[in-house]
Amino acid sequence: MKSMIVAGVVAFGVLAAGPALASDKLWKDGGCLKCHDMDKKKKGESVKTLGAKFKGKDLDKLAADLKAEKDDHPKPKMSDADLKAALTWMVAQ
């Protein structure tokens, strides 16, 4: 019985960590970390600052603005689904 509980907890941890790791990878692969750092300002605001700024906002509108290259922001190099996942991860930071 204990082994089943431990297996369940481990499986939940892997499932919960998977999307977080995947989204961190999306930021790297999408080129976002060239201008944004997790904790400090580079060319662009930090991920944590942006997460706080856009928490509770319409992420679909933000994604559309990024794809339209508004405000001199380069177009992200990722699919629409990956962009949404990356933005969702950002606001959770």
In a domain, 75, yes or no: yes
Q: Which residue has the higher pLDDT, 4 or 52?
A: 52
In a domain, 71, yes or no: yes
Q: Which residue has the higher pLDDT, 9 or 42?
A: 42
20-39: per-residue pLDDT in tens? 556 789 999 999 999 999 99
Q: Which of 30, 31, 37 is nearest to 79 (CA)?
A: 30
Angle between helices 59-67 and 80-91 (to 10 degrees): 130
In a domain, 3, yes or no: no
Q: How much is the CA Rg of the chain, to the nearest whole Å?
A: 16
In a domain, 38, yes or no: yes
The predicted model scores a pTM of 0.74
Question: How many domains does the chain divide into?
Answer: 1
CATH number at 62 reads: 1.10.760.10
Q: Report whether pLDDT(68) > 90.
A: yes
Q: Report whether pLDDT(5) > 60.
A: no
Query: Which structural domain, as residue segments, surrounds residue 69?
Result: 23-91
In a domain, 7, yes or no: no
Q: Report whether pLDDT(80) > 50.
A: yes
